[in-house]
Amino acid sequence: MFRPKLPTMPQPSGSVARPAAIEPTTIAPGDAVSASVPSSAVTPVPASNHPTIQLTPGTALALVGGGTAVVLVVGAVLVSLLLAVAITGASVAVCAVVIRSLVNADAKRR
């Protein structure tokens, strides 16, 4: 009852073929591909002198504003979580004091 039942592997129903062997090939420089393309068709592309990212004053201001908004939102969330933990701790402490006084008052009456 407590022993696990392992599934049995079914036997293959058809013929099983072995995978074909793959032989590695080597590519030497100057093969048929490079010989068939004329050298005038392959020209290097000149590198661009422009930077990929251009920061204008407007985009810099938008980045600063977005970063400030993110910091303010994350700060507000963290402060609210800390406040929730503090309120919960205070309420648990008040409940503990009330229960303790009730238990002590009940013990003094008996």
N-terminal to C-terminal alpha carbon distance within the chain: 56
> Residue 49's pLDDT is what?
72
Tokens of 49: 């002198």
pLDDT in tens, 65-88: 999 999 999 999 999 999 999 999
- pTM for the whole structure: 0.43
What stretches of 2-97 adopt beta strand conformation (E)? none
Instruction: Please list the ranges in the chain whose pLDDT falls under 70.
Output: 1, 12-17, 19, 29-48, 50-51, 110
